[in-house]
């Protein structure tokens, strides 16, 4: 629990979950102070990727105030007004572009001007969601919440692997007046599997070998498998050699309804690997995400919970796989910043209600958060 300080400032200790707390502070307008940032480490204070995130938030907002003490162990943040617009940002190579793109996706619907941003850095690593995963599983979630026709677009211009990066993506998101409430507890069985096998400044044969190894495993589950290869050479392949694969399982949606309802109730699970061994066993391990079940990808549980809380003043319900530790802490922080409490119920087997499944039903009442930054005509 944070300690309440004067002037409605929330205080937290430690560097864990710093990104989510800065985003919640930006949306709620409540200042936050984070102390004891790696005070017991050999290199105390905020790291390069966290400073880069602070600079990105400064570009997205107007009037924000950031204060780091001399040792970098205390951060004070007073949020400003979300502006958006056409931006460029060079991400730290310590983290992937996905680390920063996720933050932009959360803030983009509430900016004054439509977001048109170029992010440069590492597109594929082992600790952050790749840009392919965000495009295949993250954007569909954002589209479910945005009201009206949305012109979301994520384009991968260049790919970049560790350690030197060199990748570039373009993300566009229109201004939105608010978020809708959703009922997303049924998504149907897995219908098809799509994916991309990419290589960066290495032999294109590597991408082909990953493609074939994945297809040998996936054809045991469904015949509707389509994987493509993306061999990037020269500047399009970034500054370091590397390769990776991203697999996305798409469900059928709720059958028997209109085509529009069927499309909106499809779930997308993505698993990925960066520089995996060239064998079938490694591909099998990537399908763990599908086994978790639910209607959303586990990486995007916090984003989904936030959009549920910010939605219209009605009840949103989502079926999720087992909650990650990051999501559990995010729900606590969401209560501190927004005052929203979720109801969590374990899912039960539809054929035998005495059997409790690993999935969780999430439900909350939206606060009716409006985009006060957008221009009113």
CA 26 vs CA 79, 226, 268: distances in Å: 5, 40, 28
* DSSP bridge partners of 229: 197
Neighbours of 359 (CB within 10 A): 19
Rg, Å, the chain Cα set = 21
Q: Which two tokens stand for residue 364?
A: 């909350």
CB under 8 A, 24+ apart: contacts of 7-13: 7/31, 9/33, 10/336, 10/337, 11/35
pTM flag (> 0.85): yes
Pick from 146, 130, 375, 147: nearest CA to 271:
130
State the Cα–Cα distance between residues 171 and 157, nearest whole angstrom. 11
State the Cα–Cα distance between residues 202 and 304, nearest whole angstrom. 37
- Tell me the pLDDT of the chain averaged across its residues: 88
> Is residue 377 predicted with pLDDT exceeding 50?
no
> Is residue 37 predicted with pLDDT exceeding 50?
yes
| Neighbour-count burial for 219-246, b at 16+ CB within 10 Å, e otherwise | eeeeeebebebbbbeeebbbbbebbbbb
State the Cα–Cα distance between residues 323 and 300, nearest whole angstrom. 11
At 374, phi and psi to the nearest 5?
Answer: -70, 155
> Is residue 376 predicted with pLDDT exceeding 90?
no
- Check residue 323 and give its pLDDT: 95
> Is residue 274 predicted with pLDDT exceeding 80?
no
**Eight-class DSSP state of 375:** P
Q: At what angle do helices 18-28 and 325-338 cross, to 10 degrees?
A: 30
- For each of the domains in the chain, give its residue range(s) and CATH number, in order of start: 1-82 (3.30.110), 190-291 (3.30.360.20)
More confident residue, 60 or 295: 60
**Residues of the chain by 3-state class (helix, strand, coil), percent to 5:** 30, 30, 35
| Neighbour-count burial for 188-204, b at 16+ CB within 10 Å, e otherwise | bebeebbbbbbbbbbee
More confident residue, 1 or 317: 317
Give the least confident one: 14-28, 57-71, 176-190, 335-349.
Answer: 176-190
At 126, phi and psi to the nearest 5?
Answer: -100, -5
- For the chain, give the percent of residues with pLDDT over 70: 90
> Is residue 135 predicted with pLDDT exceeding 70?
yes
State the Cα–Cα distance between residues 340 and 337, nearest whole angstrom. 8
- Check residue 261 and give its pLDDT: 44
Number of H helices and E strands in the chain, helices first, is 11, 19
pLDDT tier at 284, thresholds 50, 70, 90: low
pLDDT tier at 262, thresholds 50, 70, 90: very low
Number of C-alpha atoms within 13 angstroms, CB side, residue 219? 9
pLDDT tens-digit map of 215-238: 888 888 888 999 999 999 999 999
pLDDT tier at 80, thresholds 50, 70, 90: very high
Distance spanning both ends of the chain, measured CA to CA = 42
């Amino acid at each position: 629990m944070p300690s309440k300080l004067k002037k409605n400032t929330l205080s937290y200790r430690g560097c864990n979950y710093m990104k989510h707390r800065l985003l919640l502070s930006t949306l709620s307008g409540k200042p936050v102070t984070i102390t004891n940032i790696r005070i017991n480490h050999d290199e105390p204070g905020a790291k390069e990727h966290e400073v880069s995130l602070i600079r990105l938030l400064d570009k997205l907002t107007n009037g924000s105030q950031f204060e780091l003490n001399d040792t970098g162990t205390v951060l004070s943040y007073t949020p400003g007004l979300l502006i958006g617009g056409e931006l460029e940002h060079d991400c730290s190579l310590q983290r992937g572009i996905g680390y920063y793109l996720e933050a932009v996706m959360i803030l983009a619907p509430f900016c004054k001007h439509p977001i048109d941003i170029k992010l440069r850095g590492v597109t594929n690593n082992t600790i952050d969601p790749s840009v392919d995963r965000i495009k295949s599983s993250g954007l569909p979630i954002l589209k479910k919440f945005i009201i009206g026709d949305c012109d979301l677009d994520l384009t991968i211009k260049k790919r970049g692997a560790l350690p030197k990066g060199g990748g570039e993506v373009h993300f566009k998101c229109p201004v939105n007046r608010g978020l809708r409430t959703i009922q997303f507890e049924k998504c149907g069985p897995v219908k098809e599997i799509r994916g991309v096998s990419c290589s960066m400044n290495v032999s294109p044969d590597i991408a082909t070998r990953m493609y074939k190894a994945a297809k040998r495993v996936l054809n045991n589950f469904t015949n509707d498998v389509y994987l493509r290869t993306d061999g990037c050479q020269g500047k399009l392949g970034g500054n370091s050699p590397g390769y990776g694969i991203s697999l996305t399982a798409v469900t059928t949606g709720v059958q028997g309804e209109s085509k529009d309802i069927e499309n909106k109730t499809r779930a997308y699970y993505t698993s990925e690997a960066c520089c995996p061994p060239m064998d079938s066993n490694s591909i099998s391990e990537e399908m763990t995400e599908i086994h978790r079940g639910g209607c959303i990808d586990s990486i995007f549980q916090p984003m989904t919970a936030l959009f549920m809380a910010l939605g219209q003043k009605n009840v949103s319900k989502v079926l999720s796989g087992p909650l990650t530790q990051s999501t559990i802490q995010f729900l606590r922080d969401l209560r501190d910043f927004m005052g929203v409490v979720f109801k969590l119920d374990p899912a039960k087997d539809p054929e035998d209600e005495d059997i409790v499944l690993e999935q969780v039903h999430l439900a909350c009442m939206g606060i009716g958060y409006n985009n006060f930054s957008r221009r009113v005509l």
